[in-house]
């Protein structure tokens, strides 16, 4: 697939691997980083979850956080040679690093208690090949995120065509909650939890000073949860069970 090749090429660029976190999670972007990490932590609150595979680990943002938990074994998995090289150089990354293709995970069936994969499947229209592989190597759960089709982020993205201008290709795929529920049914996956976050598109936060972003996030939460009752969230983070 042309789009798949473009995505792989982009995330293998030397400049992108070095600046990924500093560009997205600077200034007010720290608020986004904290929110995403808190979401994952809350979904993983179980003593039985010890062995975790983080697919498309990238800079190790989530794998590093998860490896700080006592008695956990984390494997960070990524396609990019440059990302893996950077991860291995960073001595603070106390987790195993493995390079490979998410379409053919190099692990035996039921190797992990849970799979996490953030900001990866947002790039693809067909998620089935990835979720089938993750379901094969996971004993019970998969946690990942998708962009919500009915959100302010969709409107802004289509109106300005930002992603096309920045990346040279349209890198975001959009899914409604109903579409995802039907999709899970077709794959034999059961939704255990879904966290809906951000009324204001996440990318806007990085252009704010941190103190302002904290206040804006409180307003964001009030609008999203208090008024809209979770509707029009930019992101859906899913925890699904293999049945």
- For residues 54 and 81, which has the higher predicted lDDT (pLDDT)? 54
- Annotate 23-46 with DSSP letters as a single string: HHSSTTHHHHHHHHHHHHHHHT--
Percent of residues, the chain, with pLDDT higher than 70 = 85
Quick one: CA torsion of 127, 128, 131, 135, rounded to 10 degrees? Answer: 170
Query: What is the mean pLDDT of the segment spanning 60-83?
Result: 93
Which pLDDT belongs to residue 239? 98
Distance CA 83, CA 192 (A): 31
Residue 107 has pLDDT above 60, yes or no: yes
Query: What is the mean pLDDT of the segment spanning 13-24?
Result: 56
Could you tell me the pLDDT band of residue 6, with boundaries at 50, 70 and 90?
low
Pairing of β 112-117 and β 96-99: unpaired
Distance CA 130, CA 108 (A): 15
Could you list the residue range(s) of the whole structural domain that residue 231 is in?
Answer: 2-242
For position 187, which CATH number holds? Answer: 3.40.50.150
Which pLDDT belongs to residue 2? 42
**123: which 2 tokens?**
């790039």
Residue 195 has pLDDT above 70, yes or no: yes
Question: What are phi and psi for residue 194, nearest 5 degrees?
Answer: -140, 130
Count of beta carbons in the 10 Å neighbourhood of residue 116: 28
Could you tell me the pLDDT band of residue 109, with boundaries at 50, 70 and 90?
very high
- For residues 13 and 125, which has the higher predicted lDDT (pLDDT)? 125
Query: What is the mean pLDDT of the segment spanning 185-197?
Result: 97
Which pLDDT belongs to residue 159? 62
**197: which 2 tokens?**
């976050």
Question: Helix 210-221 vs helix 29-43: angle between axes, to the nearest 10 degrees?
Answer: 50
Query: What is the mean pLDDT of the segment spanning 93-98?
Result: 93
Of the ranges 56-60, 154-158, 211-215, which is most confident? 211-215
Read off the pLDDT of residues 117-173 as tens digits, 9 standing for 90 and up.
Answer: 999 998 888 999 999 999 999 999 999 999 999 999 988 777 666 655 555 555 778
Which phi-psi region, left, alpha or beta, contains residue 201 (left: φ > 0; alpha: ψ -120 to 50)?
beta
- In the numeric block, the tokens 């008024």 are attached to 227
User: 25 with 206: CB under 8 angstroms?
Assistant: yes
Q: What is the mean pLDDT of the chain?
A: 89
Could you tell me the pLDDT band of residue 18, with boundaries at 50, 70 and 90?
low
Residue 1 has pLDDT above 50, yes or no: no
Which pLDDT belongs to residue 37? 97
User: 64 with 86: CB under 8 angstroms?
Assistant: no
Query: What is the mean pLDDT of the segment spanning 21-29?
Result: 75
pTM to 2 decimals?
0.89
Into how many domains does the chain fold?
1
């Amino acid at each position: 697939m042309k789009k798949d090749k473009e995505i792989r090429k982009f995330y293998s660029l030397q400049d992108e691997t070095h600046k990924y976190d500093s560009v997205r999670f600077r200034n007010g972007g720290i608020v986004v980083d904290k929110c995403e990490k808190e979401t994952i932590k809350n979904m993983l609150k179980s003593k039985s979850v010890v062995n975790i595979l983080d697919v498309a680990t990238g800079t190790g943002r989530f794998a590093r956080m998860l490896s700080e938990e006592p008695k956990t074994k984390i494997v960070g998995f990524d396609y990019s040679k440059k990302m893996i090289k950077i991860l291995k150089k960073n001595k603070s990354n106390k987790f195993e690093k493995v390079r490979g293709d998410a379409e053919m995970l190099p692990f035996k069936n039921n190797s992990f208690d849970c799979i996490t994969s953030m900001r990866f499947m947002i790039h693809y229209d067909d998620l089935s090949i990835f979720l089938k592989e993750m379901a094969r190597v996971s004993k019970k759960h998969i946690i990942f995120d998708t962009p919500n089709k009915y959100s302010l982020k969709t409107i802004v993205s289509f109106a300005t065509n930002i992603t096309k201008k920045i990346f040279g290709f349209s890198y975001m795929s959009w899914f409604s909650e109903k579409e995802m529920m039907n999709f899970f049914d077709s794959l034999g996956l059961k939704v255990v939890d879904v966290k809906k976050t951000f009324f204001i598109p996440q990318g806007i936060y990085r252009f704010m000073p941190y103190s302002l972003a904290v206040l804006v996030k409180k307003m964001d939460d009030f609008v999203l949860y208090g008024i809209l009752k979770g509707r029009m969230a930019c992101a859906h983070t899913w925890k699904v069970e293999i049945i």
